[in-house]
Amino acid sequence: MNYVIRSVRADEWAAARELRLLALRDPVAHLAFLETYEEALAKPDSFWRERTAGAAEGADGAQQVIAEGPDGEWVGTLTVLLEEAGTKDWAGLPVERRQGHVVGVFVRPDCRGIGLTEVLFDAGLEWAWARGVERVRLIVHEDNGRARAFYRRAGFVPSGVIVPLAGTPDARELEYVLERP
């Protein structure tokens, strides 16, 4: 595999924006992401600068990892957020212990199946473990079978926590966790 796996740099906000917009055009984006392409497209450059800087190389609270192809094109990404015990998460649920939270997982369709998701997860998990988290979690839509199958292969297991989706009472998101080795 001739790809570079690395953290984004703060000045790469435009590339981070373009990869996110591409991810939001994926056929399962409605199951995988909590925003639409149109919502993301409408955000100003200042939003993308701040978002990228907050998860760039050297940032403390989050890290965005990318897979960069031999031609420099970004072909995959994931972000790990640190969640501190005693706080509330994005859904308003209490965080009971220090943990990592994987979000924004995406690999371009033409690059799937070659191991990029695995190495992105390896890099993200390594970053989280190095910060002393007790576990890493992620939230996945119950209908996103491809993602759920990958997360199980990567060692994540359902915790039993169900996160209801606002505006869609019949849909649920499931928490998967990986305990610190």
pLDDT tens-digit series, residues 42-81: 999 999 999 999 999 999 999 999 999 999 999 999 999 9
Q: How confident is the model at residue 16 (pLDDT cuts 50, 70, 90)?
A: very high
> Based on the number of CB atoms within 10 Å of its own CB, is 38 exposed (0-12), middle (13-18) or buried (19 or more)?
exposed
pLDDT tens-digit series, residues 111-131: 999 999 999 999 999 999 999
Per the document, the length of the chain is 181
The most distant pair of C-alpha atoms in the chain lies apart, rounded to whole Å, by 44
Find, among 165, 179, 177, 125, the residue nearest to 32 by Cα: 165
d(CA 47, CA 139): 24
pLDDT at 105: 96
Question: Model pTM?
Answer: 0.94
pLDDT at 164: 79
